[in-house]
Amino acid sequence: MMNKYTGTVGIVGLGYVGLPLALRFAEAGVQVLGFDIDQSKVDALNAGRSYIKHIGNEAVALGKQRGLTATADFARAAEPDALIICVPTPLNKYREPDLSYVTGTMDSLVPYLRKGQLVSLESTTYPGTTEEELKPRIEARGFVVGKDVFLVFSPEREDPGNANFRTQTIPKVVGGVTPACLAEGVKLYSAVIDKVVPVSSTQTAEMTKLLENIHRAINIGLVNEMKIVADRMGIDIHEVIRAAATKPFGFVPYYPGPGLGGHCIPIDPFYLTWKAREYGVHTRFIELAGEVNTAMPEWVVGKVMDALNQRERSIKGSKVLVLGISYKKNIDDMRESPSVKLMELLEAKGAVIAYADPWVPVFPKMREHHFELASVDVTPATLAIYDVVLIATNHDIFDYAMIKAHSKLIVDTRGVYQESAANVVKA
């Protein structure tokens, strides 16, 4: 049975990680104060509305009933007994870690810290961040970490859209700056997570998260490279993977795609690559997988061009419907989505682009990408307009049998269609 946490919790950053965590604490009967610089998120939560599609309004309304409130006023950071930081850690244009969200958030919190508080960083980052960046900022206030203020790193492990796992059931790794810090971190998370996994240091916890994501990035890079080889040989890589997955030991299936997406797999490996250089280590596996995965959108566009060429059409002037533009199926998260890169590459070659994605009704404002587009309805009549339908994200909501029946040409990057067909090209 879980221990009851008697304090209050502040969740800083109310996005795809922070919001589920805030709702879980509220579900466990803990008073939660959410912090975000985006006033629209604050207003939505205080009105009991969700702004993340796979987290419904009902869940947020229930969280509000249980005492979840939100604010953009960081001066209230003194109120909670624990502060959990869930802010982005992107890369800059040189593929180097951008810790400005983490350090900026910590700088906003530090003036209001008080004795007895726990600070937990959940943002994925390189080993050493917690003690090199957060600890000195806390100590600058005159606090002794491990005595006055407790500091831990506990990496997020959300898998949006995966119905088999939720915040409560995904084991939680925690590492503390001192044994006292670790004890406070374990006490906090044990109140809401079924299994808490303590480790010996914050650096170990930081490296654990990177290993998890690098493991996926490298294996996806491997299977993407295998896909290219299999394609040249006229072999269906998805059939190969299904057959290999029947082996009950020593094999874990990974699936190829049009490129990596999301805020973790395309980004986090480069945090370790960057930090490893400080120690004179070159992470060749990681960088090679990054090269293979980054090249996937170009390879897919090449397959689209070849498929059109077989039908005596050029890419220039062809009407292309991109099916699914979020980075993975059944969610609305657009971060690092390979679909966007595909759209840009196709448009640069003169294609006329449209997209269909019920999870993303209007193309969102993004820092580096912009299309003045809204999702089109997938009907027999609309499918007939397009020269090619490019399946980029395989949402369950699509009627794939109908799409196959009414599309002139389909380029399938997700292995949706197992059987070969005259109008389906696998990419």
- E strands of 249-383, at which residues? 319-323, 352-356
Residue 294, class by beta-carbon neighbours within 10 Å (0-12 exposed, 13-18 middle, 19+ buried)? middle
Alpha-carbon torsion, ordered 65, 71, 75, 77, to 10 deg: 50
Q: Which of 84, 121, 181, 264 is catalytic?
A: 264
DSSP of 345-405: HHHHTT-EEEEE-TT-SBPPP-SS-----BPPP--HHHHTT-SEEEE-S--TTS-HHHHHH
User: Length of the chain in residues, anyone?
Assistant: 427
- For residue 86, indicate whether it is catalytic: no
Structure tokens at 234: 């006229």
What is the C-alpha to C-alpha distance for residues 192 and 361, in angstroms, rounded to an integer? 34
What is the C-alpha to C-alpha distance for residues 32 and 27, in angstroms, rounded to an integer? 10
Structure tokens at 326: 């979020």
DSSP of 34-66: EE-S-HHHHHHHHTT--SSTTS-HHHHHHHHHT
* Cβ neighbours around 120 below 10 Å, total: 26
What is the C-alpha to C-alpha distance for residues 16 and 373, in angstroms, rounded to an integer? 24
Answer yes or no: are the C-beta atoms of 413 and 258 closer than 8 Å. Answer: yes
Answer yes or no: are the C-beta atoms of 158 and 20 closer than 8 Å. Answer: yes
Q: Hey, is 32 helix, strand or coil?
A: strand
Hey, what amino acid is at 306? D
Tell me which residues are annotated as active site: 264
